[in-house]
Amino acid sequence: MGKADFLSPKAIANRIKSKGLQKLRWYCQMCQKQCRDENGFKCHCMSESHQRQLLLASEDPNKFMDFFSNEFKNEFLELLSRRFGTKRVHNNIVYNEYISDREHVHMNSTQWETLTDFTKWLGREGFCKVDETPKGWYVQYIDRDPETIRRQEEQAKKKKQDLDDEERSAKFIEDQVRRGRDGREEEETPVFTELKRESEEEKVAFNLGASSSVARPSTSSSGLGASALKTAASTSSTKRKDTSSSSDSREKKRKSALEEIMEMEEKKKQQQSARVDNWLQPNIVVKVITKRLGEKYHKKKAVIMEVRDKYAAVVKLIDSGDKLKLDQNHVETVIPAPGKPVLILNGPYRETEAVLEGIDEKNFCGMLTLSSGHQKGKTVKIAYEDFSKLA
């Protein structure tokens, strides 16, 4: 069999030997060639192609070192961002996965002598957050993609709105509980006194009824006992009336607090039910946020001319006048200057025109005065994404 035969035993053996990683000392980074043994590496170094590469590198060695360093840095960061994202991970774990690729750029051909030097350089240049521990150096990739930053800001904004709603609900319940405690009447504590007789000769007797086997006392003593029993009965009935009236008032207060909480929850449900997924409306100004159409249309303002299938719209760019058909996810609302007319796109005041009075940056919403509808003149707070500038 000839040397070029693909199925010859020698060719098959060579392919089996060339699989996987080889020894680093038999690798030529300049020619990007891996040799299997010392003899092969010696023959490669004496070859004419290797000598030509050495002559080219000797003319400008810094150029080749910068090229290999840049390749090593880009591939390392790409692996870190794709494999681990923004998680904190040991630098040696990332490096072991990186060198598992047979065609990787070796560190001995870069400007960094050790992995620790490279990790410190990533921290100084702001590519990663690095920290040293007793177990070694840890790295955390910093994602600076504008789309990722915008998505994180939106998530933080929604989380803050949810926390604000929960805090308002908790504060409202605390106010109701405090109001109920303040209005509660203090119960009267009974006062016990010692039983004293006005004179030693006077006898204290109790009328236990005619069926009692005890002899009946005198008329004066029986009259005294009857009057005492009547007084006790009237006092107990008065106390029962006061207790029942105070309990009724407390129940009314409790009922009123519960009713207010139920009304508040009902309003929230109504507001949520009033929200819809599609918010596109004609004659409003929007901003193009997709990058698929190129930098020519990215972040350009346009006017919606027509809405199709609820989630798509035909827009006309304000600057160039070009017409595009875009999806709802490819545009966002535009907040005008205070005093300009806007259109509410979602919520209970959907499709209502209003005037922007001001912006509440802490709560990510705008103060709008309704200029149409049966609640004209009312001032409401609407989130940024629920209203847009009118064309």
Provide the 8-state DSSP code for 368. Answer: E
pLDDT at 217 over 70: no
Least confident of 145-159, 168-182, 214-228, 341-355: 214-228
SS3 308: strand
Count of alpha carbons within 13 Å of 276, Cβ hemisphere only? 14
Torsional class of 104: left (φ above 0), alpha (ψ -120 to 50), beta (otherwise): beta
pLDDT for 374: 79
Instruction: Give the mean model confidence (pLDDT) for residues 239-260.
Output: 58
Model confidence at 220, in pLDDT bands (50, 70, 90)?
Answer: very low
Query: What is the pLDDT confidence band of residue 31, given thresholds at 50, 70 and 90?
Result: confident
Of 389, 386, 384, 311, nearest to 349 (Cα)?
Answer: 386
Looking at the predicted structure, is the pLDDT value of residue 331 above 80? Answer: yes
Amino acid at 201: E
The CA distance from 370 to 354, in Å, is 4
Spatial CB neighbours of 386, under 8 Å, sequence gap ≥ 6: 279, 333, 344, 345, 346, 347
Dihedral sign for Cα atoms in the order 268, 273, 278, 283:
negative
- pLDDT of the residue at 268: 65
Alpha-carbon gap, residue 301 to 105, rounded angstroms? 45
| pLDDT computed for residue 221 by the predictor | 43
Paired with 379 in beta bridges are 369
Contact 317, 298 (CB under 8 A): no
pLDDT value at 140 more than 80: yes
Tokens read off for 78: 């790409």
What six digits make up the tokens of 141? 């990739």
Kindly give, in sequence order, each residue whose CB lies less than 8 Å from that of residue 12, ignoring residues fewer than 6 positions away: none
**Average pLDDT estimate for 56-69:** 79
Residues 37, 42, 47: CA angle, nearest 5 degrees:
125
pLDDT of residue 167: 80
| pLDDT single digits (tens) 373-387 | 778 888 989 888 889
For 152-178, the pLDDT digits (tens) are 778 888 877 777 777 878 888 888 888
- Of the two residues 61 and 391, the one the predictor is more confident about is 391
Whether the predicted pLDDT of 49 surpasses 90: no
Largest CA distance in the chain: 146
For the stretch 171-194, pLDDT in tens is 888 888 888 777 654 555 666 666
Q: Tell me the percentage of the chain whose pLDDT exceeds 70.
A: 74
What's the whole-number mean pLDDT along residues 223-249?
A: 53
Cα separation, 43 vs 274, whole angstroms:
79
Q: Which tokens hold the place of 109? A: 């051909």
In sign, the C-alpha dihedral spanning 104, 109, 114, 116 is negative
The more confidently predicted of residues 106 and 360 is 360
Continuous segment of H or E residues that includes residue 89: strand 88-90
